[in-house]
Amino acid sequence: MNDHQLLRYSRHILLPQIGITGQQALIKSHVLIVGAGGLGSPAAMYLAASGVGRLTICDSDKVDLTNLQRQIAHNTDRIGVLKTDSVKKTLNDINPEVEVIALSERMDEARLLELARDADAVIDASDNFPTRYAINRVCARLKKPLVSGAAVRFEGQVAVFDLRHAHTPCYHCLFPESGDDQDTRCAVMGVFAPLVGIVGCVQAVETLKILTNIGKILNGRLLLLDGLTMEWRSIKLNKDSSCIVCGTTVEEL
């Protein structure tokens, strides 16, 4: 690290749990963030500010007026601009030392597999179930830590699925795919603005802990926030041994 970096990251370096070693680990890390909306905005902004060396962020949407109530990486001047272009500008302004790879593509499973292969952690900040299930399958297959978040109305959820550890469940163990194709896009539901900020920030916290190998990760636990009562709960998740994604029958193949 040069003098400039030592200053920029000094408040991290002062933390004994992180120090120079941890900060260097962050600088060498690569995180894939799927979604540049309400969750992806704060998660990506904190990871960029924290000096995570490479961020790949994907989203195929353009900035819309209805996004601006909560998607803080974007602003009024950027309505109509690709979200990836907008978020890249925001992240570069925060920290020009971070390499931002912004991909304006609709992600299918094959593409996610290709992108996740090179990542140290994956953040699910997407807004639809097909993408969530695809990200989970990819992370289970590659054994990449998946930091999953969701926020609707006044309720937030965060969980980590790190299948490098035995007995860790996956997203599918928690929410088995039902197969009915009802419109479950979070985008069409109401959401309390700062709630996505809280959830996205918790996702950034868990990702940074994974990258620096500190603390106790929210692995195999689901953190639930009720924004109306401001009560947090954390529940331990059980692995489903017959899960079609991560169950023992799959591992034997």
Contact 51, 28 (CB under 8 A): no
| Alpha-carbon torsion angle 188, 190, 195, 197, nearest 10 | 40
Q: Is 174 in the site for Zn ion (CB under 5 A)?
A: no
Q: Is 243 in the site for Zn ion (CB under 5 A)?
A: yes
Residue 246 contacts Zn ion per CB under 5 A = yes
Q: Can you read off the two tokens belonging to residue 218?
A: 């929210």
Number of residues counted as binding Zn ion (CB under 5 A): 6
Site for Zn ion in 203-222 (CB under 5 A): none
Q: Is 163 in the site for Zn ion (CB under 5 A)?
A: no
Q: Residue 160, interface with Zn ion (CB under 5 A)?
A: no
CA distance 192 to 136: 26
Q: Which of 116, 145, 132, 245 is nearest to 203 (CA)?
A: 145
Among 123, 170, 202, 225, binds Zn ion (CB under 5 A): 170
CA distance 193 to 153: 9
Least distance between Zn ion and beta carbon 176 (Å): 9
DSSP string, 155-207: EEEEEEE-TTSTT---HHHHS----------GGGS-B-HHHHHHHHHHHHHHH
Of positions 173, 196, 208, 223, contacts Zn ion by CB under 5 A:
173
135: contact with Zn ion by CB under 5 A: no
Distance in angstroms (rounded) separating the CA atoms of residues 52 and 103: 18
> Could you say which of 36, 172, 201, 207 contacts Zn ion (CB under 5 A)?
172
Which strand ranges, in their side-by-side order, compose the sheet holding 155-161? 99-103, 54-58, 30-34, 121-124, 146-152, 155-161, 221-226, 231-236
Which region, judged by CB under 5 A, interacts with Zn ion, from 153-161, 166-174, 179-187, 204-212?
166-174
Residue 193 Cβ, how far from Zn ion at the closest point, in Å? 32
Q: Look up 186 and say whether it is catalytic.
A: yes
Catalytic option among 58, 139, 170, 186: 186
132 near Zn ion, judged by CB under 5 A: no
The one segment of 1-9, 11-19, 115-123, 165-173 that binds Zn ion by CB under 5 A:
165-173
Catalytic residues, by residue number, are 186
Contact residues: Zn ion, CB under 5 A: 170, 172-173, 243, 245-246
